[in-house]
Amino acid sequence: MKNKKQRSLNVLMNILLILYAVFALFPLIWMLLISFKSDTEVFTTTFLFHPTLANYQEVLLRSDYVRYIRDSVIVAGGAVLVSIIVGVPAAYALARYNFPRKEELAFQILSYKFAPEILVVLPLFMIYQKLGLYDSYFGLIWVYQLISLPLLIWVVRGYFEDISVEIEYAAQVDGYSWYQIFFKMLVPLIKPGLVSSALLAFIFAWNCFTFPLILSSNKVYPVTVAIMKYLGTDSAHYGQLAVASTVSALPAMIFALCIQKHLVRGLSFGAVKG
Amino acid sequence: MAGLTLNHIYKRYDNSGKKKKVKNDFAVKDLNLVCEQGEFIALLGPSGCGKTTTLRMIAGLEEITDGEIYIGERLVNNLHPKDRNIGLAFEDYAMYPPLNVYGNVAFNLRAKGVDKSEIDRRVREIAPLMQIDDLLEKMPVKLSGGQKQRVNIARAIIREPELLLMDEPLSHLDGKARQAMRTEIKRLINKIKCTTVYVTHDQLEAMSLADKIAIINFGVLQQFGTPTEVYDDPVNEFVASFIGEPPMNILETTIIKKEGTFFFTFSNSNLEIAVPQRYYSVISDGFRCKMGVRPMDVLIGGPDSQGTPEKIATFENLGDERRIGIHVGDILMMLITEDEKRYKRGDIIKLEVRGEKTHLFDITTGDRIREKK
């Protein structure tokens, strides 16, 4: 009797989950469908159409799209790299050392994420113009630290705090220098957190729109902004737009699927202290 | 193997980072200790008293503010931990998670670049001693607390240190494992005869393991002596109340003189205890001080006893001994009896105190008041 009840409950739950999945994935599927449609068929609401690869040929072969992808990779990848180089030592310091105003500093780093991008982007625009950082890889990588650095520092700090100081002491007594301890002992221990937070930071940086829209123009052109190009003032190539969006979503999706397990564990492990 | 000498050691923490200014900012104050070669010394004190700090300074993990530390004849103040030739067993084991037990035990020798076959020989030699032969291939996460501590100690002694340091090695173990491990450590130390400094807050561990106990409070050494000395002859109220389980009964008392005999009297109580003759030279009528007496020196008198009748306030049956609490004024005075009789709350017993076993302490400083010789 109980089993039957349990089973019907399971079925119900699965139905609800499937409904939610359809709801959540529908925009993506719709985007994928549009990317195979010709411009004349874009607005049909039935699922019947003549699939074509013309949009893909147009975007990938006949436009600068590959360059935009490359720019995105450079900017988002560079941002994450800088965040790792700066953030891991910072997280270590915040976890291990006592110094004046430590918590305030940590909070300040976190607070970079509080303000909406649109709020700070105009002052940044003027500063960037003056400093000559406007429309440069370096400039975008720098401003992306607002997105990636706080995330990385806070996740990795939790990991460092979970590692017993005594492990460092033990290694010191065993004859290792601080650098050896750091790279041989600590880095492997924080790896799950580092990988997951770096990946998330990469996705956030990759998806960032406001900063590159305002702070770059012709020389640096990440995909998020480039997609807009397919919406001209006189014509809207929805098919090409869909292709560009699909392709730009791929790297993040592939990454996330590959390390899905690490992602969940990595982000929940540091937070739960037992 | 070598002795250890601590010469006027001070440790002061820089509190500039904290908002609150800490008044007593010396973690360790003028600490002097001499530990002979092969001796087992326990640093005993409540948490935060500076004992672990002291151990870390000996290990070289903490800087010394002032003073000198010698291991044998060597001044080690400025030596890196690895050059001090010490073994250190940690409170929470500090095992390297990615390495298995063998790797953890062998880690130090590998770091030193010892020959592989030599490492293997030494690990195989130590493993049966610590009873970890079966665990060598296991990963640290799979081990129980007791097993981890065995590995931890094996790791500390495999380097054949001149000085073995243990930082509360039993504090994370539960009752039974703790007792087993205590016996284990005793057996081990008898075997390897290494000079050992053992930090603990548990007086039972210190009493059962150590040749000498250093009792520390607020960073200041209170007393340094053999377990018998600190138990029978405490220098002050702190030591007296810290050593012994249950702790010594310490009661404020006024001494009065009746017909040429001095008695301890207590406020709100009829209890009177004769003051032993030896104290007569240091007391007078109306003298106020604290009196200490161990629970086993408080006795239940027989039917024809002259003792004061008192009501039992608490009764605990621990199997092989029974603990009885009696209100003397506001203080609960404990006594231990092996009497088989089952008392209950409210029963009247006749209380006899072995006056010759009492200690006197200064009412303000807590220092021991000794009879004049």
pLDDT in tens, A176-216: 888 888 988 889 888 888 988 998 899 899 989 999 999 98
The CA distance from B61 to the nearest CA of chain A, in Å, is 7
Looking at residues A159-167, what average pLDDT do you find? 88
The CA distance from A130 to the nearest CA of chain B, in Å, is 38
Contacts of B80 in chain A (CB under 8 A): 172, 175
* Fold match flag (B2-242 vs B250-369): no
The reported pLDDT for the residue numbered A267 is 67
Query: Residue A170: is its pLDDT beyond 70?
Result: yes
Contacts of A171 in chain B (CB under 8 A): 96
The reported pLDDT for the residue numbered B15 is 58
Class for the domain spanning B2-242: alpha beta
Lowest mean pLDDT among A40-49, A165-174, B146-155, B194-203: A40-49
B111–A174 CB contact, under 8 Å? yes
pLDDT tier at A89 (50, 70, 90 boundaries)?
very high
Name the fold adopted by B250-369: OB fold (Dihydrolipoamide Acetyltransferase, E2P) (2.40.50)
The reported pLDDT for the residue numbered A1 is 59
The reported pLDDT for the residue numbered B213 is 95
A99–B17 CB contact, under 8 Å? yes
Chain B residues contacting A, CB < 8 Å? 16-18, 56, 59-61, 80-82, 86-88, 90-98, 107-108, 111-112, 155
Q: What is the pLDDT along chain B (373 residues), one digit of tens a residue?
A: 678 999 999 988 765 545 455 555 788 989 999 999 989 999 999 988 889 899 999 999 888 989 999 998 899 998 988 888 899 998 888 888 888 999 999 988 888 888 999 999 999 988 888 888 899 999 988 888 888 988 998 998 898 899 999 999 888 888 888 888 899 888 888 888 889 999 999 999 999 999 999 999 988 999 999 999 999 999 999 999 999 888 899 999 999 998 888 989 998 888 888 888 888 888 888 899 999 999 999 988 877 787 788 888 999 888 888 899 999 888 899 999 887 788 888 888 888 888 888 999 999 999 999 887 6
Of A174, A185, A189, the CB nearest to B108: A174
A100–B92 CB contact, under 8 Å? no
Looking at residues A50-75, what average pLDDT do you find? 88
Residue with tokens 């073995």: B164
Map out the domains of chain B as residue ranges.
2-242, 250-369
- The rounded percent of chain A whose pLDDT value lies above 90 is 33
> Distance of alpha carbon B186 from its chain centroid, rounded?
15
Nearest chain A residue (CA) to B157: A174
Backbone angles phi, psi at B325, to 5 degrees: -110, 135
The CA distance from A169 to the nearest CA of chain B, in Å, is 7
At B274, is the secondary structure helix, strand, or coil?
A: strand
The reported pLDDT for the residue numbered A273 is 41
What does the pLDDT look like over B263-303, one tens digit per residue? 899 988 888 888 888 888 888 888 999 999 999 999 888 77
ipTM above 0.95, yes or no: no
Nearest chain B residue (CA) to A99: B17
pLDDT tier at A272 (50, 70, 90 boundaries)?
very low
Average pLDDT value for chain A: 87
Query: Residue A10: is its pLDDT beyond 90?
Result: yes
- DSSP assignment of B55-109, as one string? HHHHHTSS--SEEEEEETTEE-TT--GGGG-EEEE-TT----TTS-HHHHHHHHH
Query: Residue A74: is its pLDDT beyond 60?
Result: yes
Here the contacts of A264-268 (C-beta below 8 Å, separation 24 or greater) are A265/A192, A265/A196, A266/A155, A266/A192, A266/A193, A266/A195, A266/A196, A266/A197, A267/A155, A267/A193, A267/A196, A267/A197, A267/A200
What does the pLDDT look like over B335-366, one tens digit per residue? 998 877 888 888 888 888 888 889 999 999 99
**Distance from C-alpha of B194 to C-alpha of B191, rounded to nearest angstrom:** 9
B111–A166 CB contact, under 8 Å? no
The DSSP call for residue B131 is: T
Measure the N-to-C terminal CA separation of chain B; round to a whole number of Å: 41
Query: Residue A161: is its pLDDT beyond 60?
Result: yes
